[in-house]
Amino acid sequence: MAERFTVTTPIYYPNDRLHIGHAYTTVAADALARYHRLRGEDVFFVTGTDEHGQKIEERAAKAGKAPIAYVDEIVSDIRDLWQLLQISYDDFIRTTEPRHERVVQEIFKKLEASGDIYLSQYEGWYCTPCESFWVEGKLVDGNCPSCGGPVSRLNEESYFFRLSRYAQPLLDYIEANPGFIQPSSRRNEMISFIKQGLEDISVSRTSFRWGIPLPQDPRHIAYVWIDALTNYITACGYLQDEQRFARFWPADVHLVGKEIVRFHAIIWPAILLALGLPLPRVVYGHGWLLLGEQKMSKSRGNVIDPRQLVQRYGRDAVRYYLLREVPFGADGNYTEEALILRTNVDLANDLGNLLSRTTAMIERFTDGVVPSPSGQSELRATAEECVKKATQSLDRLQVSDGVSAVFELVRRANKYIEESAPWQLNRTGDPRLNGVLYDLAESLRIVAVLLRPFLVDAPHAIYRQLGLDSADASRLADAAWGGLRPGTRIQRGEPIFPRIDTESAAQAAEPAAASPATPEVTIDDFGRVDLRVGTILAASKVKGADRLLELTVDLGESEPRTIVSGIAEYYQPEALPGTQVVIVANLQPAKIRGIVSRGMILAGKTEEGLQIVSPREPLPPGTRIK
């Protein structure tokens, strides 16, 4: 039987609309689930909602609704969000479902029978937003040590779980299983937390009603964290379906935000030990998305709505940004500028252009048909290396490294276009042309397979444009070099990631003006700027823009380039055809007034006016300037 892989997200509180912090965890878990499906494994990916507790009870009362009616609405909104982001969960568990209430009650019976819970008096402090109890000694300046907010005094009868009993067994387990808590910084935190001594914890409340009553004493409601954590085994079939439970438990990965690692790496494993159940293989505590210096959070109200971002930029752009931007495990700042930059640079420019250039060349040079490979391939080794890197990263839960490994192949393939200059091979009838085009198309196909864990639309679009059926890209084995059959008829399509128009892109069209304050650059820095000679073939005014001309420039490539330049105040368009110019040829394309501009012309500006830079004597278009 195929191997199986169980991955979970925290179950979210349906007390408000979710924000991109929640989407961050869920998209990452989705990428892992999709990756393991690509490996042919039997995946069980579970997410859901944590619906009980005082906070929800209060919120519902404020809204004048019954708690269940209140959460039903938010839960349906959460499901819509996951649908929008194409989260491929196999189970969505709600703690208000009868299947879960039964399990929680059974667990309380078992824990009582094994002597792991007992009735006593609770005296301490409670933080409602964190749903956490704290003893006096753990408070920081009298406030909650987790969120820093105020806590309230509690003094009531409560059932206690003998957490203290499990301190040593937990330490032994963590010692024997170095990968159990990740990343290692969180493991160290947990070890020192346990070493300070674990006290028994209160696991029931009598101060509110919205929760699961204890079977042995229904005046008591199960503490919301015990109720929540057990969702993982309910979803796997505990006490309902032995076979299913044996198959999917223990979980391979509990993916959680770093603030709740303590619950998952201490309380939860202790309960499992008490129940005699195996512990999850990995608890991974990832970092926070911050807005400015602060954690984005519902209680602070500083949140970004993922729905708006998807509407503005598309779901693949949002997924890509979340997965790629921040090294997994670390905290990272969210900015919309960074999202736009990632989309424009990685997706529109690097990936989108690779696809449109490759399919355009195949259409022009080989009648739209993928030619035969040559014996030796320049890209094969890189492709194989990238497959290895991407899979190794994902095996180690390094999601952002996984996605960037794929883009190494994209960038190498783009560079290969420049190096091999297929338009010149075509012009001179060079037989190497076929091999080059095959390699580019094959690299794109492999990129599409490797992107399947991360992106949900682009892999299919790439396959379609290559004339292939994406049903054939559903296994990791499909990423092996050589899968593309010569003779495949490509189907050019729209750009898969249109560039996002920004103000700064318009400014980039201004001719560069030298300033004495410019800092020094190294020769390598300079080498990254690709300056080429071009000949202007045509020029016209851009409608509605006094300063802009649209130029058609021959750069010795298969097709002339369109460049929008801010020189209209200095040159009449009729005077320009035939003029040679120097172009920054590898400038990121930018959409200016709806026209895609691919490059920038150099000019010098003084008080007297502006002069285009031209070679003293004519040079062949495409000549590199160094």
Residues that bind ligand MSP (CB under 6 A): 10-13, 21-22, 24-25, 50, 228-229, 231, 256-257, 259-260, 288-289, 295-297
In the complex, the smallest distance separating the C-beta of residue 252 from ligand MSP, rounded to whole angstroms, is 16
CB of 131 or CB of 439, closer to ligand MSP: 131
In the complex, the smallest distance separating the C-beta of residue 10 from ligand MSP, rounded to whole angstroms, is 4
Residues 6+ apart with CB under 8 A from 362: 368, 369, 370, 371, 437, 441, 490
CA 591, 593, 594, 599 dihedral sign is negative
Structure tokens at 506: 């318009």
What is the rounded distance in angstroms from the CA atom of residue 584 to the CA atom of residue 246? 61
In the complex, the smallest distance separating the C-beta of residue 153 from ligand MSP, rounded to whole angstroms, is 23
In the complex, the smallest distance separating the C-beta of residue 211 from ligand MSP, rounded to whole angstroms, is 13
Alpha helices in 300-431 (DSSP H): 306-313, 315-324, 336-342, 353-365, 380-395, 399-420, 422-427
Amino acid, res. 70: Y
C-beta of residue 282 within 8 angstroms of C-beta of residue 183: no
CB of 32 or CB of 555, closer to ligand MSP: 32
Name the residue number minimizing CB distance to ligand MSP: 21
Amino acid, res. 219: R
CB of 13 or CB of 122, closer to ligand MSP: 13
CB of 24 or CB of 161, closer to ligand MSP: 24
CB of 81 or CB of 409, closer to ligand MSP: 81
In the complex, the smallest distance separating the C-beta of residue 256 from ligand MSP, rounded to whole angstroms, is 5
Q: At what angle do helices 432-450 and 458-465 cross, to 10 degrees?
A: 150
CB of 280 or CB of 589, closer to ligand MSP: 280
C-beta of residue 321 within 8 angstroms of C-beta of residue 347: no
C-beta of residue 325 within 8 angstroms of C-beta of residue 338: yes
In the complex, the smallest distance separating the C-beta of residue 87 from ligand MSP, rounded to whole angstroms, is 13
In the complex, the smallest distance separating the C-beta of residue 239 from ligand MSP, rounded to whole angstroms, is 18
- The DSSP code sequence of 69-114 is HHHHHHHHHHHHHHHHTT---SEEEETTSHHHHHHHHHHHHHHHHT
CB of 268 or CB of 481, closer to ligand MSP: 268
C-beta of residue 284 within 8 angstroms of C-beta of residue 253: yes
In the complex, the smallest distance separating the C-beta of residue 6 from ligand MSP, rounded to whole angstroms, is 14
C-beta of residue 199 within 8 angstroms of C-beta of residue 163: yes
In the complex, the smallest distance separating the C-beta of residue 224 from ligand MSP, rounded to whole angstroms, is 8
Instruction: Residue 412: name the closest of 423, 401, 404, 424 by CA.
Output: 404
CB of 51 or CB of 557, closer to ligand MSP: 51
In the complex, the smallest distance separating the C-beta of residue 391 from ligand MSP, rounded to whole angstroms, is 25
Strand partners, 237: none
User: Across 84-237, where does the E strand assignment appear?
Assistant: 91-94, 117-127, 132-134, 152-161, 181-182, 201-202, 204-205, 213-214, 217-222
CB of 13 or CB of 166, closer to ligand MSP: 13
C-beta of residue 154 within 8 angstroms of C-beta of residue 126: yes
CB of 147 or CB of 171, closer to ligand MSP: 147
